[in-house]
Structure 1
Amino acid sequence: MNHGLQGVYAVNGDIFRVFYLTPDGQAVIGGVMWEQDGHNVTRDTIAPIKGAIPTVTITGAKVDATQPGQIRPVPNTTLSPELVKRVKQASVGLVGQDGRPRLTMVIDPLCPWSIRALGELEPFVTRGDIQLALLPIAINDHENGNASTPAATALLSAVPFEMEAAWQKIIDLHHVADDMPRTDEAALHLQQNMDVAHALGVRGTPTLIWRDKAGASHVTEGLPNDIARLVRGLGK
């Protein structure tokens, strides 16, 4: 039971879905449950179930999206210099003007919460408050029929300032378009981004990474309730 709703873990072959049974027992809601602070309730609930947390295979190598019990990040975790360096080496797309405080967002391009976060952050980009860096990974393949990996590869095949436009095309279609390029180099970059996400302990998307005015770098899962406050606290 979570927040008064009973969770149901449904399996059909190698496909699984999570549903929540309404209190009257007459309907189910499919999807992910998030708390108001951005905590992913569903992911924590299903983590002990063998095979529930997806494993992504790219160019022959396996990268675990998470290892339950080993990496347990908490909201607003301060990053070590080594992790900051690894984030800087990741492949990202850029939205907004150079020289603005940067907010990095780890996304799965087909994650509805990543898409929602983009919409909520765009006004701050338009006003010039931030430059948004998009760091694509693929962790929802097990839920969407292996559609996240080609979508993320397509984003990483675009040049940095054209990645958002490529993402908008995928959002409109709900999948990667047949005419969108997916290069071998982009597949390698996705592998590297997955390595970075694993090192950070990313368990869900979106995950935000930023540096405050004092120079400390932070990572947190989900969007905060007060985005404007987060933006005001960003350092360059």
Structure 2
Amino acid sequence: MTPLQRLVHGALLSTAVITTSVQAEENPPAIQQLEQQGVEVLESFDAPGGMTGYVGEMRGRSLAFYLTPDGDHVIVGTMLDKDGNNLSEASIQELVVGPKFESAWPELEDSHWVRDGDKNADTVIYTFTDPNCPYCYRFRQQAEPWIEAGKVQLRHIMVGILKEDSLTKAATILGSENPEAAMHEHQTSFEQGGIEVDRKRVSAAHLKVKANNSLMQEMGLQATPSTLYQGKDGKITMVQGLPNPQALKRMMGPRP
């Protein structure tokens, strides 16, 4: 990995300045340097301080960077305003993450998921769930009040990525005659090892789990739970990992 690639890899955690005099035909020379290192430039926008902001992706990771007014330097990293708001993350969400997941929403609907909650619930949330994931288990515990109140329906897109038996457990749940009941059985026995693998069910559903694994990879998601929901404004938001209380409220509404 080159020094520039290491810089980009840590872009959301640190800030650095790159200087270049290489000529380019389209983007300014400093931006071309990033492109040569594997950054795909997606959008540009007006940024504070007379700078031009850019958002892009590298190895499935979204990042923001800023061209200085002289056009000779590009700053890769996080920009905060005087109140501490993360302007880089807001730009990434608006220009990269939101559109990306909005186009993927139909694929989530067509994936292989297990319904958890009232089928008529006002809020539908998709979450990539590995049966061996302790954070998926805790997320389901967090969501219990909303699910029991009939306000939220979780749709568990079952994947098998964490342990050797993750795929077979996921396929056992998906391949059962009543996947919702199997999911409940797994949840209630999680601390004792979860659902017992049933080879017949695995045979019936292992290809569905593999398809979910592929979908997760295609979307650039790297951890479970990875949860997607549609806000009141129609925009799709993704929360990776265990949601904090504020994210949980945004996702599900006021606690019942």
The TM-score, its normalising length taken from structure 1, stands at: 0.61
Q: Distance in 1 between matches of 2:238 and 2:171?
A: 24
Q: 1:131 to 1:120 in 2, by over 3 A?
A: same
Match of 1:93 in 2: 114
Match of 1:151 in 2: 169
Q: Which moved more, 1:68-77 or 1:202-211?
A: 68-77
Q: 2:136 aligns with which of 89, 114, 120?
A: 114
The one-letter code of the counterpart of 2:126 is: T
SS where residue 61 of structure 2 aligns? coil
Q: Which moved more, 1:177-186 or 1:218-227?
A: 177-186
Q: 1:71 aligns with which of 28, 51, 60?
A: 60
Matched-pair contact (CA < 8 Å) for 2:224–2:240: yes
2:216 aligned with 1:197 = yes
Q: What displacement does 1:108 show?
A: 0.9
Unaligned residue ranges in structure 1 (runs of 5+): 1-67
- Equivalent residues in 2 for 1:1-236 (5 A)? 69-72=58-61, 77-78=97-98, 79-100=100-121, 101-141=123-163, 146-158=164-176, 159-168=178-187, 171-179=190-198, 181-222=200-241, 223-226=243-246, 227-232=248-253
Q: Distance in 2 between matches of 1:230 and 1:181?
A: 36
SS where residue 106 of structure 1 aligns? strand
Q: Distance in 2 between matches of 1:82 and 1:185?
A: 29
Q: What displacement does 1:170 show?
A: 5.1
Q: What displacement does 1:140 show?
A: 0.8
Q: What displacement does 1:149 show?
A: 1.6
Moved over 4 A (4+): 73-76, 178-181
SS where residue 182 of structure 1 aligns? helix
Deviations 1:65-107 (A, max 9, x none): xxx9511158863144431121111111111111211011111
Q: 1:179 to 1:90 in 2, by over 3 A?
A: closer
The one-letter code of the counterpart of 1:128 is: G
Determine which structure has the larger helix proportion and give its number: 2
Matched-pair contact (CA < 8 Å) for 2:185–2:195: no
Unaligned residue ranges in structure 2 (runs of 5+): 1-56, 64-88
The TM-score, its normalising length taken from structure 2, stands at: 0.57
Match of 1:12 in 2: none
Q: What displacement does 1:178 show?
A: 4.7
Deviations 1:23-82 (A, max 9, x none): xxxxxxxxxxxxxxxxxxxxxxxxxxxxxxxxxxxxxxxxxxxxx951115886314443
Specify the structure having the higher radius of gyration (Cα).
2
Q: Distance in 2 between matches of 1:175 and 1:164?
A: 9
Matched-pair contact (CA < 8 Å) for 1:93–1:163: no
Q: What displacement does 1:118 show?
A: 0.8
Greater length-normalized contact order (CA 8 Å, ≥ 6 residues apart) = 1
Q: 1:199 to 1:95 in 2, by over 3 A?
A: same
Q: What displacement does 1:176 show?
A: 4.1
Q: What displacement does 1:206 show?
A: 0.8
Matched-pair contact (CA < 8 Å) for 2:158–2:212: yes
Q: 1:214 to 1:178 in 2, by over 3 A?
A: closer
Aligned residues: 163
SS where residue 222 of structure 2 aligns? coil
Of all paired residues, the percent bearing the same amino acid is 19
